Amino acid sequence: MTKAMGTEAAMGTRETRVAGMEAAKTAGGATATAFERFRALHHGPEPLLLPNAWDHASAAVLAAAGFAAVGTTSLGVAAAAGKPDAAGATRAETLALARRIAHLDVPVTVDIEDGFGGSPAQVAELAGSLAAMGIAGVNVEDGRGDRLADPAEQAELIKAIKDSAPHLFVNARTDPFWLGMPGALAEAVRRVRIYADAGADGVFVPGATAGRDLETLAAAAGVPLNVLVQPGVPQSRLAELGVRRISFGSLLFRAALGAITGTARAVAAGGHPVAEVPSYDEIQRLAGPEDEEGPTTGGPRR
C-alpha cells in the first residue's frame, strides 16, 4: 500500500495528517458540520493533502490510514464501471458511491465532472442530494471535451450549486493548463476570479506546475488554490507558493491497477507481491454500516 500511496516523506507525515484531521474535527465546536470541518482543512497550517478513492474500500482504507479527508476520482469511478471519464455517463455510479462513503469519519468531497451534462437547475438538485447525504464538497469542472465552457455559463452553474447547497464546498476546476491551451495562465487567472466571484469556495487548476504560475494563481483567486500532487515536490514547497489543497487525482487508482498486474505477473513467475498486501480480515473491517449486519455464510475465505 505504501508504494501505491507515493512518497510520504515528500508529501508530509502521517502525524501531520492526523493533526489536521483532529483540528478539523474541532473546528466550529463539537457540532461542526462536514462542510465546516472540510472548509477548515483548507486554512490549516499545511495544505490539505487529498487522496482520491473510486469505491468504498479505497475510501475507507484511506480514511483509516489517517488522511484528514477523502475525495473521489471520476476516472476511477468511470473505469470501474466500464465507462469513459468526463462523458457525463456516471451520475448514478457517483451518487451510489457518495451514499456508500458519506458515513466515513472524515469529510468526503465528490467529483461531479461538469455536472453530468445537466442544466444549472439539474446540477443544483444533484448538489442538494449530495449535501443531504452528508457530503462535504463537490468538484465541478469547466472542461467540455477538448474545449472550455463559457465562463459566464459556468459561473451560473456554480451559483446555482451554492444557492441550492450553501453548506457544500464547491471546488471550481478550470482546465486551460490541462487542455494545453495557448495563454493558459492568463485564461486560468480570468476564470478563477470569475468562479470565485460566483461563490466557489476553492479553485482547482490541474496541469499548473510552474512555481511562478502557482504564485500568480494563488494571488489572483482569493480562495484556496488546489493543484494536483507532484511526486517528488515537497508539500512545504507548494505551501510556500500559495497552494492550499493538493489532490491525488487518479494517481492512486492507476497505481492500484499497476500493482494488480505487477503482482499477478510476479506471483505467476514464482515471486511475491510487488507491494504490501493487507490481510483478508483487514479488508473485512472496512465494510460499511449496512454491510456489517446480517448473517455470514461459509467459512474463512482468502
Domains, the chain, in order of start with CATH, read: 34-253 (3.20.20.60)
Quick check: 220 pLDDT over 80?
Answer: yes
Residue range 227-234: average pLDDT? 95
Residues 147, 250: Cα–Cα separation, whole Å = 21
- Between these two residues, 279 and 294, which has the higher pLDDT value? 279
pLDDT at 31: 61
pLDDT at 4: 34
CA angle 189/193/197 to nearest 5° reads 170
Residue range 105-124: average pLDDT? 97
What is the SS3 assignment for the chain?
CHHHHCCHHHHCCHHHHHHHHHHHHHCCCCCCCHHHHHHHHCCCCCCEEECEECCHHHHHHHHHCCCCCEEECHHHHHHHCCCCCCCCCCHHHHHHHHHHHCCCCCCEEEECCCCCCCCHHHHHHHHHHHHHHCCCEEEEECEECCEECCHHHHHHHHHHHHHHCCCCEEEEECCCCCCCCCCHHHHHHHHHHHHHHCCCCEEECCCCCCHHHHHHHHHHHCCCEEEECCCCCCHHHHHHCCEEEEECCCHHHHHHHHHHHHHHHHHHCCCCCCCCCCCHHHHHCCCCHHHHCCCCCCCCCC
Beta bridge mates, 202: 171
pLDDT at 287: 87
Q: How confident is the model at residue 288 (pLDDT cuts 50, 70, 90)?
A: confident
Residues 230, 10: Cα–Cα separation, whole Å = 9
Name the grid cell of 46: 499545511
pLDDT digits over 47-101, tens only?
Answer: 999 999 999 999 999 999 999 999 999 999 999 999 999 999 999 999 999 999 9
Quick check: 21 pLDDT over 60?
Answer: no
How far apart, in Å, are the Cα atoms of 283 and each of 57, 58, 61, 147, 169? Answer: 8, 10, 8, 41, 30
For the ranges 3-17, 90-104, 135-149, 271-285, which has the lowest average pLDDT?
3-17
Quick check: 173 pLDDT over 70?
Answer: yes
Most confident residue range from 207-216, 272-281, 288-297 = 207-216
Quick check: 22 pLDDT over 80?
Answer: no
Amino acid identity, residue 260? Answer: I
Q: How confident is the model at residue 132 (pLDDT cuts 50, 70, 90)?
A: very high
Quick check: 17 pLDDT over 90?
Answer: no
Residues 95, 4: Cα–Cα separation, whole Å = 26
Quick check: 264 pLDDT over 90?
Answer: yes
Name the grid cell of 89: 455517463
pTM score? 0.88
Tell which residue, 221, 220, 238, has the closest CA to residue 229: 238
Mean pLDDT, rounded, of the chain: 90
How far apart, in Å, are the Cα atoms of 41 and each of 23, 64, 130, 154, 275? Answer: 8, 18, 20, 26, 30
Quick check: 10 pLDDT over 50?
Answer: no
Residues 4, 132: Cα–Cα separation, whole Å = 32
Quick check: 125 pLDDT over 70?
Answer: yes
Quick check: 246 pLDDT over 60?
Answer: yes
